[in-house]
Structure 1
């Protein structure tokens, strides 16, 4: 409760920015064993290692860091809060990001960073499982993000098709464009309902990993297809930054990657089907 009061209230008010540090240079999808370590030293943990591709790293006020607490032992990890300004804790910005540029990414380095045991999140040694639960919830959010982006692309493509004329006709009058729009709408609605179902279970206090994985996988891959079609309807104009679909096209590509790749989601789904 003290952690919630100290950190979450300020995040909710927009006063602080948070980041979650899980990915490492040698560990992306596989976080069962990590190189970043946290060694207990009395009432402190001493952290050493590197995290990379971390959202908000250059601007975050604190990071929730997944650390290996038993070197070389799978799943034996601990989550720790590290505050900006801690001695030995440095953040650097990674330049040249393709999309979602409003949220910078960066790298964290930890050189004998000492954090109090009061900064322990959850239970020592259970950080891997805490992280999985966090990702299960996050996947519903990413699915919703993808649905929203696809809906935005459809709205703009529909409006453009009604306004743009070629061969003395509005391009919305051509059946090929009508079918594109219809297919886009079908896919968006299917993804929306799947996302709502996953979210409904979360609201009921029940997280179903295979369902959140289904929602994320379908919605994110759907969004890529829909936005690609929207850009096609815009033609050459869709390739220009003046039009929103150009940004959507860049932004959407991260959705099948972060919070777990589509390949990892299919592993989760298949495991649930076969157990």
Structure 2
């Protein structure tokens, strides 16, 4: 069996890493290829994760970059179709809920290649979220739905999905956590930030529904202030979130929070 695993955004890398390692050890899997669509395309948002997760460089890099949802999806589909046509995989594996997930699922399905969706069945109930649309459509066309939790099974069954397509497998993010736990403990970042082990909190946020309006971002800032009043709070900030704090003129208030350690991610 020849498998193509698709990555496009940073959470995808964490999910594909343990799967790729398992595929290499599995008898009967002759080739495991990684296609990076380039949906997250700068060094801090992609390349560094291949290094830290000990993944090989992707076999194909599509370089689609940033654009509107429609343009980005179309670019991924056009580029990925050429890859599938040349490689002729037996299975295309997609993870999560980004535009690359849906785009590559559509291409594979139309080319009669089975699709496996890791993290299937997750739902927010909010179709205004692009990710929710990606989840729904991907789960509709994927042949194999790998579910991380019981809620996912219930959601899929409520949508009429047959039992023979649903597989409760657990969360591959935990596999990544276990694999890198020892390596993470050796980084020294806790000491560098002058933190006490087990006596601090870490947060991040970037979803448009959370940060793209002033009211919602203000509520989150109030929560940050409350938590930082209890324990040191480490906040590696996504570029999107940083831009919104500037746009809504909340950056000064954020920077003034005591016990808050800001960084980039």
Query: If the length of structure 1 is used for normalisation, what is the TM-score?
Result: 0.24
Structure showing greater Rg: 1
Tell me: higher relative CO, structure 1 or 2? Use CA pairs within 8 A at least 6 residues apart: 1
Query: If the length of structure 2 is used for normalisation, what is the TM-score?
Result: 0.24
Is the strand fraction higher in 1 or 2? 1
